[in-house]
Amino acid sequence: MTKADDSQKIWIGNDHGGYELKQKIISLLDERGIPFEDVGSHSSDIARYPHFAVRVAKAVSDGEAERGILICSTGIGMSIIANKFERVRAALCTSTYM
């Protein structure tokens, strides 16, 4: 994790289906010196997405994080949960153009 003002961090969370992509994103953030907080899952073992979606969305809603990235098998469940939080707008992105 890169050190910076906590409110400027990008929080990132995933379930088992998003673990490999998260590792690639973390490498890119690290290379570019972009501060982040990895809230898990920290392996490709089966993990339930709601826990991670709530942690990231709450951090954004509370102003602890400037932005959040949520990665799961389909993205639908994470988006639904995140959009229940005030000041959070989550969208399902399936390509680099979205």
Q: For 38-95, what is the HEC assignment?
A: ECCCCCCCCCCHHHHHHHHHHHHHCCCCCEEEEECCCCHHHHHHHCCCCCCCCCCCCC
Task: Work out the average pLDDT over 87-93.
Answer: 94
Q: Residue 90 falls within a domain, yes or no?
A: no
Q: Residue 18 falls within a domain, yes or no?
A: yes
Structural element, H or E, at residue 13: strand 10-14
* Domain containing residue 73: CATH number: 3.40.1400.10
Task: Count the domains in the chain.
Answer: 1
Range of the domain at 60: 6-82
Q: How do residues 1-37 score in pLDDT, each as one tens digit?
A: 444 566 679 999 999 999 999 999 999 999 999 999 9
Q: Residue 24 falls within a domain, yes or no?
A: yes
Q: Residue 25 falls within a domain, yes or no?
A: yes
Q: Residue 98 falls within a domain, yes or no?
A: no
Q: Residue 89 falls within a domain, yes or no?
A: no
Q: Residue 95 falls within a domain, yes or no?
A: no
pTM of the model: 0.87
Q: Residue 56 falls within a domain, yes or no?
A: yes
Catalytic (active-site) positions: 72
